[in-house]
Amino acid sequence: VRSLEAYSVPHPTGIEVKLDANENPFPLPSEVRHELARHLAEVELNRYPPSDGGELRELLAAECGVARDSIVFGNGSDEIIHLLCATFAEPRPRAAVASVLFPTPSFAVFRLAAIANGSEPIEVPLLSDFSVDRSAFERELEVRQPSLVFLARPNNPTGTLPTLSWVAELAARYPEVLFISDEAYGDYGAESALPLAARLHNLLIMRTLSKIGLAGLRIGYLCAAPEICREVDKVRGPYNIGSLNLCAAIWLLRNHRHGLRRRCQQVVAERERMAAALAAMSGVELFPSAANFLLLRIGKPGDRRATQVWQRLCQRGILVRCFDAPGPLEGCLRVTIGTTAENERFLEAMAQPDR
Ligand X SMILES: Cc1ncc(COP(=O)(O)O)c(C=O)c1O
Applying CB under 6 A, the residues found at the interface with ligand X are: 22, 76-78, 107, 152, 156, 182, 184, 208, 210, 215, 220
Residue 304 CB, nearest approach to ligand X (Å): 26
Residue 245 CB, nearest approach to ligand X (Å): 12
Given a contact cutoff of 8 angstroms between Cβ atoms, the answer to whether 59 and 254 are in contact is yes
Q: For ligand X, give the closer residue by CB, 207 or 256.
A: 207
Q: How many residues does the chain have?
A: 355
Given a contact cutoff of 8 angstroms between Cβ atoms, the answer to whether 91 and 98 are in contact is yes
Residue 208 CB, nearest approach to ligand X (Å): 3
Question: Which residues, 6+ apart, have CB-to-CB distance to 221 below 8 Å?
Answer: 60, 71, 72, 73, 74, 77, 80, 206, 207, 208
Q: For ligand X, give the closer residue by CB, 216 or 302.
A: 216
Q: For ligand X, give the closer residue by CB, 116 or 215.
A: 215
Relative to beta strand 71-74, strand 220-223 is antiparallel
Query: Which residues sit opposite 318 in a β-bridge?
Result: 17
Bin 154: left if φ > 0, else alpha if -120 < ψ < 50, else beta: beta
Q: What's the rounded Cα separation, in Å, for the pair 296 and 294?
A: 6
Q: For ligand X, give the closer residue by CB, 221 or 310.
A: 221
Q: For ligand X, give the closer residue by CB, 22 or 289.
A: 22
Given a contact cutoff of 8 angstroms between Cβ atoms, the answer to whether 140 and 122 are in contact is yes
Question: Which residues, 6+ apart, have CB-to-CB distance to 236 below 8 Å?
Answer: 72, 73, 74, 83
Q: What's the rounded Cα separation, in Å, for the pair 97 and 90?
A: 7
Q: For ligand X, give the closer residue by CB, 110 or 310.
A: 110
Q: For ligand X, give the closer residue by CB, 80 or 286.
A: 80
Q: Where are the beta strands (DSSP E) in the chain?
A: 17-18, 71-74, 99-104, 120-125, 148-152, 178-182, 203-208, 220-223, 284-286, 293-298, 318-319, 321-322, 332-336
Residue 303 CB, nearest approach to ligand X (Å): 28
Q: For ligand X, give the closer residue by CB, 23 or 324.
A: 23
Residue 185 CB, nearest approach to ligand X (Å): 7
- With H, G, I as helix, E, B as strand and everything else as coil, classify residue 317: coil
Residue 79 CB, nearest approach to ligand X (Å): 7
Residue 23 CB, nearest approach to ligand X (Å): 9
Residue 219 CB, nearest approach to ligand X (Å): 7
Q: Kindly report the backbone phi and psi dihedral angles of residue 75, in degrees, each rounded to the nearest multiple of 5, phi listed first.
A: -75, 80
